[in-house]
Structure 1
Amino acid sequence: MSKTVTRMGDGSSVVLSRDEIRREVVEGSEAAAVKAKIPALEENEVDYLVDMFASPMRMWSVERGHEAVMTKDGGTNTLISSRLSSGIAAPIGRETAVRLFERAFAFDSMEVGHIDYSVKPSKFIVSVEQEHMELLQHTTVFPLFYGFMPNLGLYYRPDGQYENPSDLLPLGKIDAARRTQEEALEACHDDVVWQSRMFAETGADAINYDTVASTGDAEFLATLRATRTISSETDMPVEVSMAAEMVLGFHGELEYEGTRLAGLWPHQQMKLVERAGAAIFGPVVNNNSKKSCAWNVARAATFVKACTAEATIPIHPNVGNGVGGVPMFEVSPLDMVSRASAAMIEIGKADGL
């Protein structure tokens, strides 16, 4: 039986037969189905993924007419950074980089964001960031998001003023750990709302709350509340992009409109994000670097399909480094990026990426 060179979740090459690929796809989908209690992929969907990973073609794409729009996080780091987003450290400024994404790379939209991407540090230079946004609104045509991370972790000591729950929990101080999270999330919420309003005034086309719930359910609650405020008080659309496939219950008892946040999977997160008034939801599915890309992509597509099956807003799954089936590797290999992207659209029925 012929074999195909494909990849593992860490980007390394592996040779698999067609039967082995099928087994990986089925097991990956079943892993998601069992975890989140959602349907596994159907036989024709499994066949599509098997054909895709068994193909010797270097690149893969969607069927003509199934093209999807793209939103982006991380701003222009791909071009201007030497450390982030596999950046190439091009000797250009941020404004030039944004214009290149529009005119050279034909992006559908772009995010403007400071390289220190969290709201807590970036709020101090918001007037400078507003100047960048205003200038780019004059020189570009495509929609411009302003993006940042709520990043509740920066509100805890030693970076912030609130006691660190990671220090309290090992000491058994559970009530104190919960209390400090409740206090910190209020400060985070206020900063997110304030900075979002600044860019609504500047004329940003949308806002992107990125890497949401990176510190668990308290951060998710702060973001949901901020989303509700901005979506109801301004006409600026809000995209909520998650940090991981499951909301960590670091607090464990926080709720949003009667739903406990700890332990929510992407299709459950989506429902709350919709209720908060968001315009786009960006689910994340984490990779297992010890499993094959066929396994990881099938698992990710199963999670995303469960989102799109019930969503009333566009779903833009993250297909970045180490998530959405893309290998965890410094420079993402295009053979797997193209396959993961196509699977999100053709199988996951995503509206964009």
Structure 2
Amino acid sequence: MGKIFSRRGDGFAIYMLEAELMKDLEDGTQDASERGKIPPLTDEEVKHLFDICKSIHKISGVEKGHEVVMTYDGGTNKIPRLGINTGRLQTLQIYERCFGADTTELSDPDYTYRQVKPTLRDDIPMMEQAQLLMVVPVFYGAMPNLGIYTQPDGPVPNPMELLPVGKIKEAKAAYEEAVELAVRDIVIVASAYYEAGADGINIDTVGACGDPDFKAALLASEELTTKYPGICIEMGMAGEFVLGMHGGISHNDVKLAGLYPHEQVKMAQAAGVTIFGPTINTKPAKSIPWNIARVATYTKACVSAAEIPVHANMGMGVGALPLCLTPPIDIVSLASKAMVEITDLDGL
């Protein structure tokens, strides 16, 4: 019996026996089930994943009629990363007219709401021009990134310097002050772009600084939906569970630290978010089949709990894709097919 080509979570090629492949699928779904306290994949779903993962094709795909919507984060930053000299408007056109993207996103290379606020006057005309150029929806996106509010770059004392010397109350107070500042910046920037014609706002990489970061995103979403009824807000997470950097922050009487995707989505939709992007971390030392089963288990539970569309984050180091700068297309397409067919999500 020949071995099956696959990859590790770091992108390196490996070969697996059928028994090894099946064991990794079973172990992956069990890991997610135990950590998230959610049901594992059924035997039938594991067998379906097995058939997908042993594919010999360079590119995998879903059947016609089963395609899902694609949204993008940091869209205008990614083509220039490849050394292709294009402006942001041209990059949007490439996504729409070359890649067939369902949506696009205008964003700044410094992908943080606080950092882009001083350049709003110069960048707003670009959104207005984008609306004249594009047919597909054009979002504006950036991160809350509470870390950038801390000294020496920001106004708030750095909790990472306060905690080691036992100043726990002061560290918590610093996080709480950063939340207030971040909410203000997100609302100012998002309002400006929405009024300039943006079809939606992406609050991305939420929770990168833990529970204060998630709190800021939720409060900003609530304020924006009150200010602009019907606004489209996409919230993409930073990781599979919310880190307790503060540890005591709650929202609507729910403690934010430790929430998994199926719990995060409930908080997001209650805050007025209209598209939710769960993020599950790829384990580089494990096989891609192990990671796919794990990610599918988390995402399936998230979709079941959601009342809004779920667009799973799939990129370098998340969503069962390898932790490398340019994930190989064989695994990108295979993992995407698995997510669509197993989890019943709405988009990627």
What TM-score, normalized by structure 2, do the two folds share? Answer: 0.98
Q: Where do 1:48-87 residues align within 5 Å?
A: 48-81=48-81
CA distance in 2, matches of 1:348, 1:169: 40
Deviations 1:141-200 (A, max 9, x none): 100000000100000011101111111111111111101101111001111111111112
Q: Out of 298, 314, 338, which is 2:333 matched to?
A: 338
CA distance in 2, matches of 1:91, 1:272: 40
Give the residue type in structure 2 aligned to 1:14.
I
Deviations 1:267-302 (A, max 9, x none): 100000010010100000001100000001110010
Matched, 1:18 2:13: no
CA distance in 2, matches of 1:351, 1:2: 36
Q: Out of 243, 252, 255, which is 1:257 matched to?
A: 252
Structure 1: which 4+ aligned runs deviate by more than 6 Å? none
Tell me by how many angstroms 1:78 deviates.
Answer: 2.3
- 3-state DSSP of counterpart to 2:320: coil
Deviations 1:316-338 (A, max 9, x none): 01011000000011211011101
Give the corresponding residue for 2:311: 316
Give the corresponding residue for 1:96: 90
Contact 2:77-2:108 at 8 Å conserved across structures: no
Deviations 1:240-285 (A, max 9, x none): 0000111000111110001000000011000000100101000000
Moved more, 143-152 or 228-237: 228-237
Deviations 1:73-131 (A, max 9, x none): 012222122xxxxxx22122111111111111110000000011111111110122211
CA distance in 1, matches of 2:26, 2:153: 44
Q: Out of 251, 271, 276, which is 1:281 matched to?
A: 276
Give the residue type in structure 2 aligned to 1:338.
S
Q: Calculate the aligned-residue CA RMSD, in Å.
A: 0.9
CA distance in 2, matches of 1:221, 1:179: 14
Tell me by how many angstroms 1:225 deviates.
Answer: 0.5
CA distance in 2, matches of 1:74, 1:289: 23
Contact 1:318-1:324 at 8 Å conserved across structures: yes
Contact 2:207-2:242 at 8 Å conserved across structures: yes
Give the corresponding residue for 2:114: 120
Give the residue type in structure 1 aligned to 2:314.
V
Count of residues paired in the alignment: 347
CA distance in 2, matches of 1:55, 1:219: 40
CA distance in 2, matches of 1:76, 1:6: 31
Contact 1:288-1:296 at 8 Å conserved across structures: yes
CA distance in 1, matches of 2:164, 2:62: 49
Matched, 1:37 2:32: no
**Consecutive unaligned residues in structure 2, runs of 5 or more:** none
What TM-score, normalized by structure 1, do the two folds share? Answer: 0.97
- The alignment-based identity, stated in percent, is 42
Give the residue type in structure 2 aligned to 1:284.
T
CA distance in 1, matches of 2:174, 2:149: 10
- 3-state DSSP of counterpart to 2:64: coil
- 3-state DSSP of counterpart to 1:211: strand
Give the residue type in structure 2 aligned to 1:136.
A
- 3-state DSSP of counterpart to 2:111: coil
Tell me by how many angstroms 1:56 deviates.
Answer: 1.4
Give the corresponding residue for 1:136: 130
Matched, 1:230 2:224: yes
Give the residue type in structure 2 aligned to 1:309.
S
Give the residue type in structure 2 aligned to 1:274.
Q
